[in-house]
Amino acid sequence: MAHISTNDALTHYRINTLPSFSVILKKDMVDWTQYIASNPDILFGKPVIVDTRIPVDLILEKLAAGDTIDDLLEAYPNLSSDHIAACLLFAADSIKHETIFSKAS
Protein backbone atom coordinates (compact mmCIF):
# COMPACT_ATOMS: atom_id res chain seq x y z
CA MET A 1 0.00 0.00 0.00
CA ALA A 2 1.25 3.49 -0.85
CA HIS A 3 2.21 6.00 1.80
CA ILE A 4 0.21 9.18 1.33
CA SER A 5 1.32 12.66 2.28
CA THR A 6 -0.31 16.01 1.58
CA ASN A 7 1.58 18.97 0.16
CA ASP A 8 -0.19 22.21 -0.84
CA ALA A 9 -3.54 20.41 -1.22
CA LEU A 10 -2.00 17.96 -3.68
CA THR A 11 -1.82 14.31 -2.77
CA HIS A 12 1.46 12.69 -3.75
CA TYR A 13 1.80 8.95 -3.57
CA ARG A 14 5.24 8.11 -2.26
CA ILE A 15 6.47 4.66 -3.24
CA ASN A 16 9.89 3.17 -4.01
CA THR A 17 11.22 3.64 -7.55
CA LEU A 18 12.62 1.14 -10.04
CA PRO A 19 16.17 1.71 -11.32
CA SER A 20 15.50 0.14 -14.75
CA PHE A 21 13.79 3.25 -16.16
CA SER A 22 16.90 5.40 -15.67
CA VAL A 23 18.51 3.38 -18.46
CA ILE A 24 15.69 4.32 -20.87
CA LEU A 25 16.36 8.02 -20.44
CA LYS A 26 20.12 7.70 -19.83
CA LYS A 27 20.05 9.92 -16.76
CA ASP A 28 19.79 9.78 -12.99
CA MET A 29 16.68 8.33 -11.42
CA VAL A 30 13.63 10.57 -11.33
CA ASP A 31 11.71 11.11 -8.09
CA TRP A 32 8.25 10.73 -9.58
CA THR A 33 6.59 12.26 -6.52
CA GLN A 34 7.87 15.63 -7.74
CA TYR A 35 6.05 15.21 -11.07
CA ILE A 36 2.79 13.34 -10.34
CA ALA A 37 -0.06 14.64 -8.19
CA SER A 38 -3.65 13.86 -7.42
CA ASN A 39 -6.08 16.61 -6.48
CA PRO A 40 -9.87 16.08 -6.21
CA ASP A 41 -10.38 19.42 -7.99
CA ILE A 42 -8.38 18.35 -11.05
CA LEU A 43 -9.85 15.57 -13.21
CA PHE A 44 -11.73 14.19 -10.19
CA GLY A 45 -8.49 13.23 -8.43
CA LYS A 46 -7.00 11.25 -11.29
CA PRO A 47 -3.17 11.23 -11.13
CA VAL A 48 -1.86 13.97 -13.42
CA ILE A 49 1.44 15.56 -14.29
CA VAL A 50 1.97 18.46 -11.87
CA ASP A 51 0.88 21.87 -13.14
CA THR A 52 -0.97 20.30 -16.09
CA ARG A 53 -4.22 18.53 -16.74
CA ILE A 54 -2.41 15.70 -18.51
CA PRO A 55 -3.38 12.41 -16.84
CA VAL A 56 -0.72 9.78 -16.23
CA ASP A 57 -2.85 7.12 -17.92
CA LEU A 58 -2.87 9.13 -21.17
CA ILE A 59 0.93 9.10 -21.32
CA LEU A 60 1.02 5.38 -20.49
CA GLU A 61 -1.57 4.57 -23.16
CA LYS A 62 0.36 6.53 -25.77
CA LEU A 63 3.58 4.69 -24.90
CA ALA A 64 1.74 1.35 -25.04
CA ALA A 65 0.33 2.30 -28.46
CA GLY A 66 3.85 2.76 -29.78
CA ASP A 67 4.52 6.47 -29.34
CA THR A 68 8.15 7.19 -28.50
CA ILE A 69 9.38 9.56 -25.83
CA ASP A 70 10.34 11.96 -28.62
CA ASP A 71 6.79 11.72 -30.05
CA LEU A 72 5.35 12.68 -26.66
CA LEU A 73 7.79 15.54 -26.16
CA GLU A 74 6.83 16.91 -29.55
CA ALA A 75 3.09 16.51 -28.91
CA TYR A 76 3.31 18.01 -25.40
CA PRO A 77 6.05 20.68 -25.52
CA ASN A 78 5.52 21.62 -21.87
CA LEU A 79 6.66 18.11 -20.80
CA SER A 80 10.19 16.87 -20.28
CA SER A 81 11.62 13.37 -20.37
CA ASP A 82 11.51 13.45 -16.56
CA HIS A 83 7.72 13.82 -16.69
CA ILE A 84 7.44 10.74 -18.88
CA ALA A 85 9.84 8.75 -16.69
CA ALA A 86 7.77 9.79 -13.67
CA CYS A 87 4.62 8.37 -15.32
CA LEU A 88 6.36 5.03 -15.91
CA LEU A 89 7.72 4.91 -12.37
CA PHE A 90 4.34 5.82 -10.91
CA ALA A 91 2.73 2.95 -12.83
CA ALA A 92 5.44 0.49 -11.83
CA ASP A 93 5.23 1.44 -8.18
CA SER A 94 1.44 1.33 -8.18
CA ILE A 95 1.47 -2.22 -9.51
CA LYS A 96 4.33 -3.27 -7.26
CA HIS A 97 2.26 -2.42 -4.18
CA GLU A 98 -1.05 -3.76 -5.45
CA THR A 99 -2.70 -6.50 -3.40
CA ILE A 100 -4.20 -9.34 -5.42
CA PHE A 101 -6.82 -11.62 -3.97
CA SER A 102 -7.62 -14.92 -5.65
CA LYS A 103 -11.23 -15.94 -5.99
CA ALA A 104 -12.31 -19.16 -4.31
CA SER A 105 -13.30 -21.81 -6.84
Which of residues 105 and 4 earns the better pLDDT score?
A: 105
Q: How far apart are the first and last CA of the chain?
A: 26
* Mean pLDDT of the residues in the chain: 78
Enumerate long-range contacts of 67-73, CB under 8 Å, 24 or more apart.
Answer: 69/24, 69/25
Note the pLDDT tens digit of each residue in 14-38: 333 333 344 444 456 788 999 999 9
Q: What is the pTM of this model?
A: 0.68
Domains in the chain (CATH in brackets) are 3-95 (1.10.10.10)
Q: How far apart are CA 42 and CA 31, in angstroms?
A: 22
Q: 44 in the Ramachandran plot: left (φ > 0), alpha (ψ -120 to 50) or beta?
A: left
Q: How far apart are CA 1 and CA 97, in angstroms?
A: 5
